[in-house]
Structure 1
Amino acid sequence: MLERQQLRRQMRQLRRALSPATRDEAHRQFARLLSGTHRLRPQQRIAVYFAYGHEADLRYVIDVARRRGCLLYLPVITDFRHSRMRFVRYRTDSVMRVNRYGIAEPDPRHAEVISVRRLDLILLPLVAFDERGWRLGSGAGFYDRSLHHLREGRRWRRPTLIGVGYECQRVARLQPDRWDVPLDGIVTERGLRWFERHPATL
């Protein structure tokens, strides 16, 4: 546990050290790379996120996805104590609220709440990632708890999981916990890479 905490600190320091111009160009590159795939097409149900702290930002991806007619969803925290969240439809006219982290989220009382299995694509923030597709999150466990059932291996119902980060967050190897779910791909400022499916998810 201590090793993961130390790694989080190191990766956050590297992330913070990036200049605003470098980050902004990376964010534009995310949009260029993802728009070059078939993932951002009309009626695709895509979970995005609003960046917290110095996380990789999806503002340009969201703009492209909206112009292409994608259906966008944002994570909404429903239980801080037990690290639970749901995905809620996000429109330009959505009724928004701010959670305890200061992150805006659509009010689920006024918008569609979707099951994870009905999503086509989930774009995930991360603190670090490795060459095998394992992701190190912030440590709060919201995504892990929301996606853990995907390890059952019902691939015909599962969404595609793409991590979003900067190249400086790449590490050689992460030791996954038993509840971690591997990524299908990773997008950084240097490209979009797909990973082979891990045996535990086949």
Structure 2
Amino acid sequence: MVLSRQDFRKQIRFKRNQLHSDVQFQASMDLVSQCAQLTEFQNAKHVALYLSADGELITTPLIEWLWRQGKKTYLPVIHPFSQGHLLFLHYDQNTPMVFNRYYIAEPKLDQTQIIPAQQLDIICTPLVGFDSTGHRLGMGGGYYDRTLEPWFKTGHGPKPIGLAHDCQHVDKLPIESWDIPLPKIVTPSQIWDWE
């Protein structure tokens, strides 16, 4: 039986939501160790991440590590006028936060804190699942596929790097024409590299 994209989403989300809090904590620490090895993170000045939800690999320790390295961090905000698109706003300990329509915390919209996506060095992308060829399965809104399309077409701009638990890997995902494969995905135990 061939699983649909929705079936994969259900199965993988269930698996990651079953991870014990101790496992989640250790995974978040291991993620920092993995990312610290990558020249992309060592050389970056502007890094977009996301705040974890729904059992995603916890990104807070990575964000705090980036702050200690003197890097600026940014979080995605759902664009208020351009449907299906993201803005990226500067994020630090004092950033006022609100909940978006998906009940995910994001910075309160402030035009002075927006960075054009092309000025980012890295966009860390959330994902539900990924396969052995670098294809990423998101939640289905297409926000990151739209954001990464210019990079995919030209090879220029911020480098997308996926972050995931090891249990989110599957051999092969069903893909669609609009899906943007990732050049690199970091899990607590491995750096997957397709460059």
Taking structure 1 as the reference length, the TM-score comes to: 0.88
**Equivalent residue number for residue 168 of structure 1:** 167
Distance in 1 of aligned mates of 2:84 and 2:108: 18
Distance in 2 of aligned mates of 1:146 and 1:13: 27
Distance in 1 of aligned mates of 2:43 and 2:8: 39
Does 2:193 align with 1:159?
no
Structure 2 residues without counterparts, runs of 5 or longer: none
Amino acid at match of 1:53: D
Does 2:23 align with 1:22?
yes
1:42 Cα offset (Å): 6.8
> Contact between 1:95 and 1:110, CA under 8 Å: does it hold in 2?
no
Give aligned pairs, total. 193
Distance in 2 of aligned mates of 1:31 and 1:69: 15
What is the root-mean-square deviation in Å for CA atoms of aligned residues?
A: 1.9
> Contact between 1:43 and 1:69, CA under 8 Å: does it hold in 2?
no
Distance in 2 of aligned mates of 1:187 and 1:151: 19
**Equivalent residue number for residue 124 of structure 1:** 125
> Contact between 1:127 and 1:137, CA under 8 Å: does it hold in 2?
yes
Distance in 2 of aligned mates of 1:58 and 1:87: 16
Amino acid at match of 1:185: K
Taking structure 2 as the reference length, the TM-score comes to: 0.91
Over 3 Å counting, the alpha-carbon distance change for 1:57 and 1:114 in structure 2 is: same
Distance in 2 of aligned mates of 1:95 and 1:110: 13
**Equivalent residue number for residue 60 of structure 1:** 61
Aligned residues with identical type, % of pairs: 34
Over 3 Å counting, the alpha-carbon distance change for 1:43 and 1:158 in structure 2 is: closer
1:91 Cα offset (Å): 2.0
Counting only pairs closer than 5 Å after superposition, residues 1-202 of structure 1 correspond to structure 2 as 3-41=4-42, 44-79=45-80, 82-109=83-110, 111-152=112-153, 154-155=154-155, 157-196=156-195
Amino acid at match of 2:100: N
1:58 Cα offset (Å): 0.6
1:174 Cα offset (Å): 1.8
Distance in 1 of aligned mates of 2:82 and 2:12: 25
Distance in 2 of aligned mates of 1:87 and 1:29: 26
Distance in 2 of aligned mates of 1:162 and 1:134: 12
Distance in 2 of aligned mates of 1:80 and 1:117: 19
**Deviations 1:121-144 (CA, angstroms, capped at 9, x unpaired):** 111111110111110001122111
SS in 1 for 2:110: helix
SS in 1 for 2:41: coil
Distance in 2 of aligned mates of 1:26 and 1:52: 15
1:81 Cα offset (Å): 8.7
Distance in 1 of aligned mates of 2:151 and 2:190: 26
> Contact between 2:151 and 2:159, CA under 8 Å: does it hold in 1?
no
Structure 1 residues without counterparts, runs of 5 or longer: 197-202
Amino acid at match of 1:170: H
1:36 Cα offset (Å): 2.0
